Every structure is written in structure tokens, then in C-alpha cells.
């Protein structure tokens, strides 16, 4: 079931006409509906209540809809699982930027980069556009593909959608600004916990993927061990460091957000300058690592079922 959903995502992705009923969109609307009710004061407890409520609704609604549909529930489960995955979307996002760079259209490349990153892009040169895109493809490997696969294999569509709810709440509430520093604390911490094991397994999958593409898999592993902990996120540094090591480039550095500079951790060793082809290689690594992660997960699942 999970493998078929993964293939469905690769082939179809998220069709634009169905975006309005995408589970992540619905989860976002639910968060916006509940937040004003609970946000009377910026407390961790109220934020935790929101997180628990949204997780419960996401899991229960998915589970009971599948049950209520009876023999047709498998079709809903297949579709829901495919929406939890973003492999095709992530690959396309990277290749769209690459295509713009190949025709030397920096303006279009900046516009397409702005669609997938939060940093300021108006003044980015070609090298910074490449860095931003490679970092995004690498970082989103976990929360966009491997972590949903992990929870789908563990508990089917309901658990995968609950994970997407956690991830969505982190994106919406897990900010360190005045409004969300306390209220979004539970969302941010739960996202860290949910991604902890998938991120580390993803690191192993990236090493294997580097070997498949005849890249520096040893440097991939060494860079993960050495640099992943430098990242501000306890999990995002693993895929970013792995990709940096495999490609033999440096990721991280100064990024601007609303004109304010922020220094991201430096990951990797600069054996060479970034080039546009690195976007394609990062996208290939992302897809290959996803397949390896899925195959490994299915193997473990098969062994566990035979033992139990």
C-alpha cells in the first residue's frame, strides 16, 4: 500500500484541482479555526491543547473515514497516503529553478526560488540561488518524504496524516517570535521528536544513495557526523550535511529574512564551487534516498511481521 502510494505521488503528485481538499490544507484551516479560541494568552499549555486537539482530529477523521467507506476505504487510504508525500513536488521545485538557470533567466530563477524558501530572494546571485535550492531539497527530504513514509509504514494513513498535522503546526506556530515563542513551543518540540528517528535513518539512506550515484559516500557520512549538530534544527542538519558531503560543496552561510541577516551553520567542505548541476544531483539524491528508505522500511516491516 505505501509503495503504491509512493508511486502515485511520483506519477501524479498533487493535482491542482484537488488542492482545496488536500489534507494539509484542511489541517491548516483547522489550526486557524482553533488558534483564536485558545490564544487568549501566550501559554505553553494552551498551545499544547491545540496540538493535541489537531493531532486527535487528524488521526481520528482519517481512520473513521476509511472504516466508513468499507471496501472502498482502501482507495481513500491510497490517496491520503500519496498526499502525505512530496517527492514529486520537491523534485519538480528543484528542476524548475534549474531550468530557469540553464537559460540564464535569473529573474525567473529568483521567482521560482522564492516559491520554495522563506529567505529574501530578490538580490540573490546565481550561486546563492543554487545554494538555496539545494538546501531546500535536502532539508525537505525528511519532512516531505521519509518521515511520512516512516509513519505510514508504522501506522498507515491515519498516523501519516497525524505526522503531517504535527509538521504543519510546526510551520504555522513553531516560530521564535513574541506571539509564538510560548504558544508554539509544543508544536515545535513535537515536530523535533517526530522527526528524530526518521532524520537519522534518512542520513543512512543518503549515504547509500551517494554510493548509487558514485558520489563521495564516505564524505557524506563524515560530514553528517561532523556538521549535522551545528544546524539550528536537531534534524534538518542531517540531510543538509549529507548532501553537502556527497556533492563536495559548502551549504549554509548568511541568509536574509525581511532584510535582516541570519547566519546559518556552515556544512561541508568546499572542494569546489556550487554549480547549477548540483540542483539536479541533489534532486536525484533525494529521490534515490527516498526509494532506499522505503525499501529498507518495507524489509523491516516484513521481518517484524514474520517474527510476530
Nearby residues of 40 by Cβ (< 8 Å), 6 or more positions away? 46
Q: What is the pLDDT of residues 229-264, one digit of tens each?
A: 999 999 999 999 999 999 999 999 999 998 999 999
Please give the pLDDT value at position 92.
Answer: 96
Q: What is the pLDDT of residues 22-71, one digit of tens each?
A: 899 999 999 999 999 998 777 899 999 999 999 999 999 999 999 999 99
d(CA 308, CA 304): 6
Q: What is the pLDDT of residues 77-135, one digit of tens each?
A: 999 999 999 999 999 999 999 999 999 999 999 999 999 999 999 999 999 999 999 99
Q: Cβ distance 211 to 288 under 8 Å?
A: no
Mean pLDDT score, 276-281: 98
Among residues 207, 209, 261, 201, the alpha carbon closest in space to that of 235 is found at: 201
Higher local confidence (pLDDT), 161 or 17? 161
Q: Could you tell me the pTM of the whole model?
A: 0.94
d(CA 149, CA 157): 10
How many other CB atoms are there within 10 angstroms of residue 56's CB atom? 12
Distances (CA, A) of 67 to 21, 159, 216, 272: 19, 15, 47, 54
Residues recorded for the chain: 308
Q: What is the pLDDT of residues 158-198, one digit of tens each?
A: 999 999 999 999 999 988 888 888 999 999 999 999 999 99
As a dihedral over the C-alpha atoms of residue 112, residue 271, residue 239, residue 29, rounded to 10 degrees, the angle is -20
Amino acid at each position: 500500500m505505501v509503495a503504491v502510494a509512493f508511486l502515485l505521488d511520483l506519477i501524479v503528485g498533487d493535482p491542482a484541482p484537488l488542492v482545496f481538499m488536500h489534507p494539509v490544507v484542511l489541517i491548516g484551516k483547522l489550526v486557524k479555526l482553533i488558534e483564536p479560541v485558545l490564544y487568549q494568552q501566550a501559554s505553553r499549555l494552551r498551545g499544547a491543547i491545540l496540538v493535541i486537539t489537531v493531532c486527535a482530529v487528524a488521526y481520528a477523521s482519517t481512520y473513521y473515514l476509511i472504516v466508513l467507506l468499507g471496501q472502498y476505504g482502501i482507495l481513500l487510504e491510497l490517496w491520503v497516503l500519496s498526499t502525505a508525500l512530496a517527492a514529486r513536488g520537491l523534485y519538480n521545485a528543484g528542476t524548475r529553478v534549474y531550468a530557469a538557470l540553464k537559460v540564464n533567466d535569473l529573474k525567473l530563477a529568483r521567482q521560482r526560488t522564492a516559491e520554495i524558501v522563506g529567505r529574501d530572494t530578490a538580490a540573490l546571485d546565481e550561486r546563492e540561488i543554487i545554494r538555496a535550492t539545494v538546501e531546500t531539497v535536502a532539508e525537505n527530504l525528511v519532512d516531505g518524504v521519509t518521515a511520512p513514509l516512516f509513519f505510514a509504514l508504522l501506522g498507515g494513513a491515519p498516523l501519516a496524516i497525524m505526522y503531517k498535522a504535527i509538521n504543519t503546526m510546526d510551520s504555522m506556530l513553531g516560530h521564535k517570535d513574541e506571539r509564538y515563542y510560548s504558544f508554539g513551543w509544543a508544536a515545535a518540540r513535537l515536530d523535533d521528536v517526530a522527526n528524530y528517528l526518521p532524520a537519522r535513518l534518512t542520513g543512512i539512506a543518503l549515504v547509500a544513495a551517494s554510493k548509487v550515484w558514485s558520489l563521495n559516500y564516505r564524505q557524506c557520512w563524515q560530514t553528517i557526523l561532523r556538521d549535522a549538530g551545528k544546524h539550528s534544527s536537531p534534524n534538518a542538519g542531517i540531510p543538509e550535511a549529507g548532501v553537502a558531503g556527497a556533492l563536495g560543496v559548502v551549504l549554509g552561510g548568511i541568509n536574509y529574512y525581511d532584510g535582516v541577516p541570519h547566519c546559518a551553520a556552515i556544512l561541508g567542505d568546499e572542494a569546489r564551487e556550487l554549480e547549477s548541476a548540483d540542483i539536479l544531483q541533489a534532486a536525484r539524491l533525494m529521490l534515490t534516498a527516498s526509494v532506499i528508505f522505503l525499501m529498507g522500511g518495507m524489509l523491516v516491516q516484513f521481518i517484524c511481521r514474520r517474527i510476530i
